[in-house]
Structure 1
């Protein structure tokens, strides 16, 4: 009986124990529920005393003890915080809270779950530090905390979790360095610390992870050479380490040490040197990314052993070896420094290749004629290289091609009509080359085209109507060509068109009324053409943001509905023949948005536009009569002033002398042309020397004022970096017409513009080489010295008002001389003339892109405006991009383009020819270019008062030259 009593008592105790522990789990879960946000508690409605514990949502119990062994609440969008009571679920083996919105911290009490094998709290908003108590969970196999807000460093105590198979802490805010104890996790198969803020190197202990298959450390601040310890982890199949600070070369035996790799991404680091010759030994490689590095060199023909490759690459010369890679699908070698000619063998690569990018390198040569063999290509990018030659007609065989980008090269020839076969083509980027001929009408067959950009070339002829019938077009960019004829009426069929850029062509006629049907239009650029007549009714374009009609022959009144365009950010109507009152309502109240400069018959508007008052018709007639009388009188005065102004010149020359010296102003002697005249090379018989003769076009309004301004500015000034005015001619020609000409010293090396943009000039005038970094610095110093002289050291301060590369001339030794003072203003005299200039369409204009922004608002000329132009000139000299490049538009300017790249990505934006100009090994080119470009940004600030003085700019440039080149160049006034 006694024994039976003891047994019964024991059973009762066990039962009681079971009831107590079951209740512990129940209370722990109810406490957890109480911490869940109110609006989501309904998801856990089964968590109440009416349901058995093991039937609660997400709860799994053990078979014997009915204790909670698994809690799976993933993806339920639960908010709130995680209760510390979770530590009371002592039988828990698996805990999954991923894909919710839990905030707060991970409770230290999780460390009590000593039976835990799987812990997943990923995809939440957990912050704070990773609990050190997790080291007590010694049975853990899987630990996932990725995509939270966890911070501070990785606890070194986690090195005790020696059974861990998979560890993922990616996408957090972890910082500090990886603890050396991480090397104790020798059972790891997968390790992810990607996208954090961890720095330093990879611990050597990682070499002990002999089971490791996947390592993800991308998107951190790791640095140093390729981690040596990784070379010992021969089991690796997946290695992702892009976007860090790694640098240096890869070991030559790389392929032998990591023979099992299937994926290797190393992009956006600072790796350099050649691709290891042993890389072909990685026979199963499927993905290899080395974009955005500094890789150079070559890969041997044995690289062709990578038969299963379908990833991305980081070198150029291996292309010929990849012809045996029959599974190759994606090849990306963009944004490195690979040079040399594009090999013809690229056309023999895998027929499965669907993505090929070689963009942003230093690749030269031609695109192989047989490139059409790559019949599976869907995206083909060769932009921003130094390619020459034509587009192969075989591109028309790539029937699946969706994007073709070869912009910003030096390609020439005609655009092949075979591109019309690419009916799936959505994006065609051919801009910034030297293509010529006409636009092929067959492009209209690309009925899925979204983005067509062929600006900045030498195309001529009409715009095909077929292009205006592509229903899907969103962007059409044809600016800066020589297209002629009218804008087709069919433009109204482009219902999805957002951007239409036709600026700086030779288009004429009236702007079609149908343009108003392009209801999706946001940007419309028609500037720099010969359009005439009124602006048509485009009041339906209510979403338009930027409108540029400047530099045409448009007339009539300014449409008042522009004032109601709520999205309008920029309206340029300058230099046309508009007349009448300028509205003062809506958008016209903001002078920073609207520009109407250079329309002499406009009146009214807000005060900032500085227009004349609108007056009655009778008074207007009186003024016209008086103006005619004054003009006649002024003409007489100009002739007298001309004689007086030119009295200081010693050499007297006649129209006949200049006609003979230029062989009858022959086109064979033509050097260039500008706003007010044409420049010829001439041999003066009396002086026996070669000179440059600028013949004024007196039919051009403002030419006489330009002539007088240039004479007035140059007659008394002398500086080694200013073009020297030798004499002038004020006479009549053989037909009895007035004749004005200026004679300058001849500059045998042409203009700076010719050297910066050689592909845009004729072959016979093209420089035989490019300017070196030192030569560009010297030229910049010369120009700065000239402007400093004009601004400070002349008898009276002079503003040049039109500084740009075409107005900087180079002599035999590439010394720069600032020229073309047709818009110059002697500032002390400006106040006396300001009223007259306000009534004249020949006021300060400058050149679009170089003129200071305050000039567009009618401000008076100043030395600060010259500083702005110099800053833009400096940026153009070292980036190789004009401020009017098609890349720029809206708020994205050459200034912003440069600023956004400094200092880390300075080599991405500089003129690539600088990098090939014989710099010595180890020359700190990035540092030098950064200092120069930062100086340019200081000069072209938006506000005049924030710009440097030219004396400061000159001193800084000289300091930069002496620092990096230890050389001086004599400068004298």
Structure 2
């Protein structure tokens, strides 16, 4: 994308152009017919612009045209029939326009080399041509979101077929023969038929489809019958949706054989019986939607084994019984839980408070008895809490103060009692609080959200009163009338003002006499006045850097911010310590709190080296603590912690290898993002190597130690193993003393060589190759002497495209592959190879590496606008 605008000029005099690539711009007007005169063209990519008008018929005059992409524009009218008669065409993408008409019946014969036919999201009508069964090279057929009707033809003769996407049309299936024919397509990975007019029962033979099938979407049809037990054969399915149909019967226990499922959606059907406990065998399940059915029985506790579950919706069924504690005993990954409109009984299990990342919790309209568990306060990331319309009793627990991100609380229509807690005043993100129709009594708080009558609802609590007139409640007995105190204030305020001025004058004179030029700490100012003295408490040891003053944080503050170091708040744990996420009561921003395990060897050294880095450095790409805490805990044991700004996008490792963490492959980095991140890390290393005296070596550079801020700016962190290169630095006697991680550690360290900046350069080279190839240096493929460096070098430069991270390649548009390869990817791989050379003398310095990366970054950003 170059932010190009305007129209494409005539190209009549261009004679040697092979690739025309202007995707993702703002070009408008009509596509000039003169493009058809450029007979040398092989590829035309005009997608994602603002072109209007008709597709020029002259495009079919280009004799060797293999790729044509006009997608995501505002083209209209009919597709010229001559475009369907170009034997050289392999890739045709006309999707997301306003095209009308029909696909000609002879297309399977006239486009014998066609591999990709993508015309989704248009207004095409008519039948799907049966001749497509003769397009033997066809790999992707996408006709979704049109007005196609009639039966789906047999496609079983297409042995190369990988994707069939026919959803959101008006297609029918009289005998489902087309589905049975697809069992011959052994490479089929995606089959999408949702939003059509498919009726009747799915034949058992349909579940003999290729075991390579990963996506099966049959939702929003009129499918009836039952789910066959043969569904167990589709062992590689990751996505199965059959929602909004007329499917009846029970969920077969064999569904537990689909161990790779991430999304299972059977909602809005007529399913009955119990939820099979075998679903707990699908341990990678991320979303389970069974709402709007006729299911009954208990919720199986085996669902607690689905440790990756993000969304759970069992609402609008006839489920009954108690909620099992095992159901919520797993890691706190939930984003949404909806158990509403069932017949569940008993108390809400305390383990539900472990749902640290829940953004929606809805258990309304059931029959829960008992109070709200205090452990709910552990849900620090909870943004919406709905428990209205139950029979909850007791008081609101004090642990609600830990709901730091809460925006919406609805506890209305229960039997809650006691006072309205003042803790609601401190929930800075709270936008709506509904406590109406309970049995609360006494005065309500006056601060925070209670100052705005439009966000607090307290109707139906007869015992409540107010000390102010902000909310429409009766005034509490004994509420002071501020008017009675006005005369007293008129007397006191002048004397207090005069006394304050005299004290200030005396204070300035004292400082002048002592020649104190730096402004002292506020605590020191107060200590000069005995009447302001307060009992000394355990506070942070802070130290200035460049005349900065760090915030003071006590052990108690950290204890409250982490909910007593709850596992819900834990980001990561290692032998040397743990990192927690939390928020201090005086600050709205989330922080990461690194607590050192001082019982482990080397923990003290790690703490002090990070403090020294804090004192000595300042760079936009370095993680620097905002403050620290060095004190005693409640058992008088030494306690040391560093507090950092929370990096909302996590570590680079979680982006490069997301399949190990969230099973959500859509969370990937584009080539441009990888270039920018690599340049950020190189800049940080250049700074610590060449701009500090003495130089600083990180010693443990790897993706998990690179954090990404909200704008994807990379920051190098975890300097616990770092070493300043003092002249008298002792050569480490073992790899343990060096620190570092296998795979990223420079090979010379294993031979007893001294620590040097070249070791960081080696680690950076490995990191850069990992970012491009998507493979860790410890991948199981690297055996018998093969390493990431040797693997990349063996394919360099001619076959580099074969080994790139497939997510990065797919995310970038294939149209400019040649330019992208030679201008950016090959230079990046070459740089990674030079940095990861076995001999330190063969590696460049970080100053040169940083300069090359910055040049690549600037060229890339300039080309993308």
TM norm structure 1? 0.47
Summarize the Cα distance change of 1:323–1:145 in structure 2 as closer, same or farther, 3 Å threshold.
closer
| Alignment of 1:572 onto 2:434 | yes
Q: CA RMSD in A?
A: 2.3
CA contact (8 A) 2:339 2:363 kept: yes
Pairwise CA distance, 1:550: 1.0
Partner of 1:159: 36
Determine helix, strand or coil for the equivalent of 1:285: coil
| Alignment of 1:126 onto 2:14 | no
Partner of 2:831: none
Provide the rounded CA distance (Å) in 1 between the counterparts of 2:187 and 2:84.
32
**1:528 alignment partner, one of 389, 411, 418:** 389
Determine helix, strand or coil for the equivalent of 1:136: coil
Provide the rounded CA distance (Å) in 2 between the counterparts of 1:417 and 1:280.
36
Partner of 1:603: 465
Partner of 1:35: none
Determine helix, strand or coil for the equivalent of 1:340: strand
Pairwise CA distance, 1:346: 3.2
Partner of 2:373: 512
Provide the rounded CA distance (Å) in 2 between the counterparts of 1:340 and 1:299.
8
User: Where in structure 1 do 4 or more consecutive aligned residues deviate above 4 Å?
Assistant: 227-231, 605-609
Pairwise CA distance, 1:281: 4.3
Q: Return 147-156 or 320-329, whichever deviates more.
A: 320-329
Partner of 1:405: 265
Determine helix, strand or coil for the equivalent of 2:68: strand
Pairwise CA distance, 1:563: 3.0
**1:141 alignment partner, one of 13, 18, 30:** 18
Provide the rounded CA distance (Å) in 2 between the counterparts of 1:434 and 1:408.
9
Partner of 2:114: 236
Summarize the Cα distance change of 1:264–1:616 in structure 2 as closer, same or farther, 3 Å threshold.
same
Summarize the Cα distance change of 1:389–1:523 in structure 2 as closer, same or farther, 3 Å threshold.
same
**2:213 alignment partner, one of 336, 350, 353:** 353
**1:421 alignment partner, one of 281, 298, 311:** 281
CA contact (8 A) 2:156 2:183 kept: no
Partner of 2:167: 291
Partner of 1:713: none
Provide the rounded CA distance (Å) in 1 between the counterparts of 2:157 and 2:230.
30
**1:493 alignment partner, one of 354, 366, 377:** 354
CA contact (8 A) 2:194 2:218 kept: yes
Partner of 1:185: 62
Pairwise CA distance, 1:424: 2.0
**1:202 alignment partner, one of 79, 102, 113:** 79
Provide the rounded CA distance (Å) in 1 between the counterparts of 2:51 and 2:106.
22
Provide the rounded CA distance (Å) in 2 between the counterparts of 1:528 and 1:470.
27
Summarize the Cα distance change of 1:600–1:460 in structure 2 as closer, same or farther, 3 Å threshold.
same
Pairwise CA distance, 1:139: 2.8
Provide the rounded CA distance (Å) in 1 between the counterparts of 2:383 and 2:228.
39
| Alignment of 1:247 onto 2:125 | yes
Pairwise CA distance, 1:230: 4.8
Summarize the Cα distance change of 1:298–1:608 in structure 2 as closer, same or farther, 3 Å threshold.
farther
CA contact (8 A) 2:220 2:245 kept: yes
CA contact (8 A) 1:276 1:299 kept: no
Deviation sequence 1:782-829 (CA, Å, 0-9, x none): xxxxxxxxxxxxxxxxxxxxxxxxxxxxxxxxxxxxxxxxxxxxxxxx
Deviation sequence 1:899-956 (CA, Å, 0-9, x none): xxxxxxxxxxxxxxxxxxxxxxxxxxxxxxxxxxxxxxxxxxxxxxxxxxxxxxxxxx
CA contact (8 A) 1:138 1:161 kept: yes
Summarize the Cα distance change of 1:341–1:607 in structure 2 as closer, same or farther, 3 Å threshold.
farther
Provide the rounded CA distance (Å) in 2 between the counterparts of 1:183 and 1:375.
44
Provide the rounded CA distance (Å) in 2 between the counterparts of 1:234 and 1:583.
76
Provide the rounded CA distance (Å) in 2 between the counterparts of 1:206 and 1:356.
32
Summarize the Cα distance change of 1:268–1:608 in structure 2 as closer, same or farther, 3 Å threshold.
farther
Partner of 1:546: 408
Determine helix, strand or coil for the equivalent of 2:101: strand
Summarize the Cα distance change of 1:392–1:244 in structure 2 as closer, same or farther, 3 Å threshold.
same
Provide the rounded CA distance (Å) in 1 between the counterparts of 2:237 and 2:105.
38
Provide the rounded CA distance (Å) in 2 between the counterparts of 1:325 and 1:261.
11
Higher relative contact order (Cα pairs below 8 Å, separated by 6+ residues): 2
Provide the rounded CA distance (Å) in 1 between the counterparts of 2:106 and 2:45.
20
Summarize the Cα distance change of 1:366–1:560 in structure 2 as closer, same or farther, 3 Å threshold.
same
CA contact (8 A) 2:238 2:263 kept: yes
Determine helix, strand or coil for the equivalent of 2:148: strand
Partner of 1:466: 326
Pairwise CA distance, 1:247: 1.8
Pairwise CA distance, 1:226: 2.3
Pairwise CA distance, 1:216: 1.2
CA contact (8 A) 1:477 1:501 kept: yes
CA contact (8 A) 1:449 1:472 kept: no
Partner of 1:555: 417
The within-5 A match list for 1:62-81 is none
Summarize the Cα distance change of 1:299–1:167 in structure 2 as closer, same or farther, 3 Å threshold.
farther
TM norm structure 2? 0.52
The within-5 A match list for 1:355-504 is 355-474=215-334, 475-504=336-365
Summarize the Cα distance change of 1:272–1:605 in structure 2 as closer, same or farther, 3 Å threshold.
farther
State the number of aligned residues.
Answer: 476
Deviation sequence 1:65-95 (CA, Å, 0-9, x none): xxxxxxxxxxxxxxxxxxxxxxxxxxxxxxx
CA contact (8 A) 2:105 2:131 kept: no
Summarize the Cα distance change of 1:494–1:575 in structure 2 as closer, same or farther, 3 Å threshold.
same
Provide the rounded CA distance (Å) in 1 between the counterparts of 2:313 and 2:339.
6
Pairwise CA distance, 1:252: 4.2
Pairwise CA distance, 1:512: 1.2
Partner of 2:187: 327
Summarize the Cα distance change of 1:473–1:284 in structure 2 as closer, same or farther, 3 Å threshold.
closer
Partner of 1:591: 453
Deviation sequence 1:432-469 (CA, Å, 0-9, x none): 21211111122222222222221221111111000121
CA contact (8 A) 2:162 2:189 kept: no
Pairwise CA distance, 1:583: 3.4
**1:262 alignment partner, one of 136, 139, 143:** 139
Structure number with greater Rg is 1
Provide the rounded CA distance (Å) in 2 between the counterparts of 1:272 and 1:605.
68
Pairwise CA distance, 1:616: 5.3
